[in-house]
Chain A
Amino acid sequence: DTGVSQDPRHKITKRGQNVTFRCDPISEHNRLYWYRQTLGQGPEFLTYFQNEAQLEKSRLLSDRFSAERPKGSFSTLEIQRTEQGDSAMYLCASSLGAVEETQYFGPGTRLLVL
């Protein structure tokens, strides 16, 4: 049983550069979520996909952020023109899609913007 995987696990970049993260959900899961966790805080919701459709975006997701899930399987999260405030752990989760179902989280991608 393969869980949710994320790549890369760590990313260091310079301010102003673009970065892209990938999430591979559990294979039969049709819901996929992105969260962001800053140091000392709980994760905060960023966006949600039902299959390939992006159904909700948090106000935290500025115009520099874009997420896709082109075939309803893996998802990418891109940050353009990174800022130091983007430094955080980016978490991906997936679920089967029934009401009140469990979200399974990946290990996260830790981003450091210098």
Chain B
Amino acid sequence: AQSVTQLDSHVSVSEGTPVLLRCNYSSSYSPSLFWYVQHPNKGLQLLLKYTSAATLVKGINGFEAEFKKSETSFHLTKPSAHMSDAAEYFCVVSGGGGYNKLIFGAGTRLAVHP
């Protein structure tokens, strides 16, 4: 069975400092992994996805994530946080079975302080 664990429920950073949101996954086969962001009162938006191509994946708004099979991790990073990055972030693994049933982590709430 597939699952994801987001290691931090809350992360707080200062504007302009790096962001690191941690995610570990469990999968019985080569997974597809995603990061989605959810701003208050807005729908889920895809930040980036890994689908067995390059292990370093670049997404929107300066975010990137690195797939590390040996560590079963898919951490999300950004070099410099912006106030607009404050939101809930979800690490997601594809459930497989020939279609993309998504399995979400519990989420990490990112706060960005001036």
A45-B95, A99-B99 known, 8 other contacts, Cβ within 8 Å: A4-B43, A33-B101, A42-B106, A45-B101, A45-B102, A45-B103, A99-B98, A105-B44
Closest partner residue, chain A, to B46 (CB atom): A102
Once the chains are docked, how many angstroms separate the CA of A31 from the CA of B103? Answer: 17
Once the chains are docked, how many angstroms separate the CA of A77 from the CA of B106? Answer: 24
Q: How many residues of B contact A (CB 8 A)?
A: 25
Once the chains are docked, how many angstroms separate the CA of A93 from the CA of B102? Answer: 10
Once the chains are docked, how many angstroms separate the CA of A99 from the CA of B42? Answer: 27
- Chain B residues at the A interface, C-beta cutoff of 8 Å: 32, 36, 41-46, 49, 51, 90, 92, 94-95, 97-107
Closest partner residue, chain A, to B52 (CB atom): A100
Once the chains are docked, how many angstroms separate the CA of A44 from the CA of B107? Answer: 12
A84-111 interface bits toward B, Cβ cutoff 8 Å, 1 = contact, 0 = none:
0000000101010001111111111000
